[in-house]
Chain A
Amino acid sequence: MIRSVPRSRVFNSLYLLYLLAFFIYLALPLLVTAVFAFNDSNFPSLPWQGFTVDWYFANAAESGNRTGLFHDQGLLSALWVSVLVAFWVTVISVALGCVNAVLFERIEFRGKEVLYLVMLLPLVIPGVILGVSILVFYSGLANEVSLRWGIELDLFRPGLPLVIGGQVAFITTLSTLIIAARLRKFDPQLEEAALNLGATPIVAWFTVTLPWLLPAIFGAAAMAFLMSFENFNTTVMLTGSDTPLTVALFNRLREGSTPVLNAVALLLMAVSALLAMATLRRSQ
C-alpha cells in the first residue's frame, strides 16, 4: 500500500472517497454550530432566517427579547470564572511539571521507576472519579473539622479551590510529560560548559537550561489552559456556586438551546484555535 506498490484504480478512488467522507464528518458539527450563531431565529435550526449578530450584541434591556453573549451576565461571569481557574491551573501545573521533569530526567534515586508509574496514574483514572474522590476527601475533612472543633474550612467545600485542585491533579501529569520530553533532548554538556565558565548551578539553570525548555513550557502552558477551560467531568463534581463556563453551558443546554449557545461555542472555537496556532508556530 506504499506509493511504489501498485494499487487498483477502484481501490484508490474508494480510499479517497473515504478520506473525504471522514473530513466532512469531522467538520460538519463545528460548521453548523458556527453558522447558526448568525441565524436570525430563536432556535438553532433550519429554516435559515437571515444573517444577524444579535446573538453577540443584542441587549434585552434596550430592545426586543434577545440577550446576546456580551450582555448575558450569567455567561460572562461564568467565562470569567473559567479564565480565573484556567490561569491558576496553568501556573500550578506547569510549575509542578518543570520540577517533576527535572526530578525524573536528571536525578537518580531509588524507587524512581515506581514513582514514575505513580506519576502516570492520573491519566488512567476517569475524570469523574478524580472529581468525586477529591470531593469525598476534602468535603469529608471539612465536615469532620466542623463537627469536632467548630471551625469552618470553606476552602475545602465545593468551590473554585477544589476545582483548581481537581484539574491540577491530572493536568500536571500531561505538562510533566511535555516538559520531560524536551529535557530528555538537552545536552548536559552545555550546562557543564556554563559551570566551567564560572556560572553557579542556579545561573547555569536560568541562562542555559531554562531557555532550552521554554518552547515546551509554552506548549505545556497552552495545553494546560485549554484542558482546564474545556474540562467538564472533574469540574462538575467540585463546583460550588461559581460555575465555570462548561458547567454553565451544560445547565443552559439542558433547559433548551438558543443560538446564544452557538455564539459562545464559536467564540470558544476561535479563541482555542488562535491559542493552538500560536503554540504550533512557536514549536516549529
Chain B
Amino acid sequence: MNRTAGKLSLLLLLTPFVLWIVLLVLLPHVQMLRISFQVRESWDSLDWGVTQYSNFFAESYYWRTFIRTGVMSLLTTALTLVIGFPIAWYIAKLARGRARGLLFLACLIPFWASELVRTYGWMILLRESGLFSSWLQALGWVDGPVEFLYNDVAVIVGLVYNALLFMVVPLVTTLDGLDDNLVEAGYDLGGNHWHVLRDIVVPWAMPGIVSGCIVVFMLTLGSYLTPTLMGGKDSAWFTQQIFTQFITRFNWEQGAALGVLLLVLSSLLVWLGLRLTGQNLRKVLG
C-alpha cells in the first residue's frame, strides 16, 4: 500500500470513531461541565460562578447522600469480592469437565434477565406480603408480617446480587491461568492456606480482582433502579438526586454540578484503585 492510500484508509477508519467519541461522549461532558458553572440570573441572562457547587456543600442532604453512596458502593464491592471469590475459585480450580461449564453457566443465567427483573424478584421475596415474610409466619417464627424491604440491608443485598457476575467472570478468567504447581509448591514449602492465598493466589489474581472491583464499583455507584425500588425513604442514592434535579425540578445547572461531582468521585476512586494496586486501565479493561 502506498502512502496516500494508507493515509486515506486511516482517515476513513478514524472518522467514524472520532464522530462517535466526540459527539456522544466528549462534547456532552464538556457541556455538562460548562453548565455546572453557569448561574442563571433571570430567564435570559447568565453568569459564571460556583453557586451550584457551594449549594452542594451548604446543603447537608446533598453531601451526606454523596458520602453515603460512595461508602455503600465500596461496601458492596468488598462484599461482592468476598462472596464471589470462593465461587470463582471453585469454578476455575476445583470443578471438572461438564460441572465446570454448568456452574459457570449458572452464574450467567441471572444476567440474562434485566436489572429491573432481578430487582423485582427480590421485591417479591422481601416485601411485607412477600415470600420470606409468609414462610416465617407459616413456620410460626414470627407473629405478624415482617418488612424486609425498604432499608439499607435490602439495598445492599440487591446491589451485590446485581454485581456478582461482573466480579465472578474476571476472577474465573485470571484464576484459570494460575498454574496448579505454584499452589502445590506453596504448600510443599510449608505454607498454610493463608500463606498460599496471600502470597500466591491473590497476587496472581490481582488483575482480575481490580477489574472486577472497578466494574462493580462503577455499576453500583451509578445504579438507580435497585436503590430506588428497594431502598426506603432514608436510603437515598446520589443518582436519585441527579434525576430529581433534571427531570422533576428542571434545574439543569444544579443537576449538571451533581453529575460532575459523581463523575469526579468515580474517576478518583477508580484511579486510586489502579494506583494502589499498580494496574493500568488498559490492562484491566481492554
A residues whose Cβ falls under 8 Å from a Cβ of B: 1-5, 15, 18-19, 22-23, 25-33, 36, 43-47, 95-96, 99-100, 102-103, 107, 109, 113, 115-130, 132-138, 140, 165-166, 168-169, 172, 177, 201, 226, 229-230, 232-233, 236-237, 246, 249-250, 253-254, 257, 261-262, 265, 268-269, 272-273, 275-276
Min C-beta distance of B267 to chain A, whole Å: 7
Partner of A29, one of B21, B118, B129, B224: B118
Q: Is B252 an interface residue (CB 8 A)?
A: yes
Instruction: Give 1 or 0 for each of B75-109: 1 = CB within 8 Å of chain A CB.
Output: 00000000100110110011000000001001111
Asked if A129 meets B259 with Cβ closer than 8 Å, knowing A15-B86, A140-B35, the reply is yes
**Can you identify 10 A-B contacts, CB atoms within 8 angstroms?**
A28-B125, A96-B20, A100-B17, A115-B17, A117-B281, A123-B215, A126-B263, A133-B28, A233-B222, A272-B114
Beyond A3-B94, A5-B187, A109-B14, list 12 extra A-B contacts (CB 8 Å).
A31-B121, A33-B113, A124-B267, A124-B281, A134-B24, A136-B256, A165-B24, A232-B114, A265-B117, A265-B120, A269-B112, A275-B112
Residues of B within 8 A of A253 (CB): 116, 120, 123, 229
B112 touches A276 (CB 8 A): yes
B17 touches A103 (CB 8 A): yes
Dominant SS at the A interface? Answer: helix
Residues of A within 8 A of B252 (CB): 136, 140
Asked if A18 meets B86 with Cβ closer than 8 Å, knowing A117-B281, A133-B28, A253-B229, the reply is yes
A96 touches B16 (CB 8 A): yes
The answer for the CA separation of A29 and B124 in the assembled complex, in Å, is: 8
A236 touches B10 (CB 8 A): no
Q: Which residue of A lies closest to B256 (CB)?
A: A136
B116 touches A232 (CB 8 A): yes
B184 touches A5 (CB 8 A): yes
Of B48-56, B59-67, B241-249, the stretch lying at the interface with chain A is B241-249
The answer for the CA separation of A169 and B120 in the assembled complex, in Å, is: 27
Asked if A36 meets B124 with Cβ closer than 8 Å, knowing A26-B106, A46-B131, A123-B285, the reply is yes
Min C-beta distance of B258 to chain A, whole Å: 9
Q: Is B152 an interface residue (CB 8 A)?
A: no
Q: Is B13 an interface residue (CB 8 A)?
A: yes
Q: Is B172 an interface residue (CB 8 A)?
A: no
Q: Is B218 an interface residue (CB 8 A)?
A: yes
B residues whose Cβ falls under 8 Å from a Cβ of A: 1, 9-10, 13-14, 16-17, 20-21, 23-29, 31-32, 35, 83, 86-87, 89-90, 93-94, 103, 106-110, 112-118, 120-125, 127, 129-131, 134, 161, 164, 180, 183-184, 187, 193, 196, 214-215, 218, 221-225, 229, 239, 242-243, 246-247, 252, 255-256, 259, 262-263, 266-267, 270, 281-282, 285-286
Asked if A237 meets B116 with Cβ closer than 8 Å, knowing A2-B93, A5-B183, the reply is no
Partner of A1, one of B17, B24, B93, B112: B93
Q: Which residue of B lies closest to A3 (CB)?
A: B94
The answer for the CA separation of A36 and B123 in the assembled complex, in Å, is: 12
Residues of A within 8 A of B285 (CB): 120, 123-124, 177
B246 touches A135 (CB 8 A): yes
A124 touches B270 (CB 8 A): yes
B108 touches A276 (CB 8 A): yes
Asked if A269 meets B17 with Cβ closer than 8 Å, knowing A120-B281, A132-B255, the reply is no
B120 touches A133 (CB 8 A): no
Q: Which residue of A lies closest to B24 (CB)?
A: A169
Partner of A102, one of B13, B32, B89, B262: B13
A30 touches B93 (CB 8 A): no
Min C-beta distance of B115 to chain A, whole Å: 6
The answer for the CA separation of A213 and B261 in the assembled complex, in Å, is: 40
Asked if A137 meets B32 with Cβ closer than 8 Å, knowing A4-B184, A5-B184, A32-B131, the reply is yes
A2 touches B180 (CB 8 A): yes
- Between B16, B26, B86, B286, the greatest number of chain A beta carbons within 10 A of the residue's beta carbon is seen for B286
A45 touches B17 (CB 8 A): no
Asked if A1 meets B183 with Cβ closer than 8 Å, knowing A45-B131, A128-B222, A129-B263, the reply is yes
The answer for the CA separation of A22 and B28 in the assembled complex, in Å, is: 41
A119 touches B17 (CB 8 A): yes
Partner of A273, one of B23, B90, B109: B109
Min C-beta distance of A269 to chain B, whole Å: 4
Residues of A within 8 A of B32 (CB): 129, 132-133, 136-137
Residues of B within 8 A of A125 (CB): 25, 29, 263, 266
B196 touches A1 (CB 8 A): yes
The answer for the CA separation of A136 and B24 in the assembled complex, in Å, is: 12
A128 touches B120 (CB 8 A): no
The answer for the CA separation of A177 and B93 in the assembled complex, in Å, is: 27
Q: Which residue of B lies closest to A284 (CB)?
A: B101
Residues of B within 8 A of A25 (CB): 161
B286 touches A177 (CB 8 A): yes
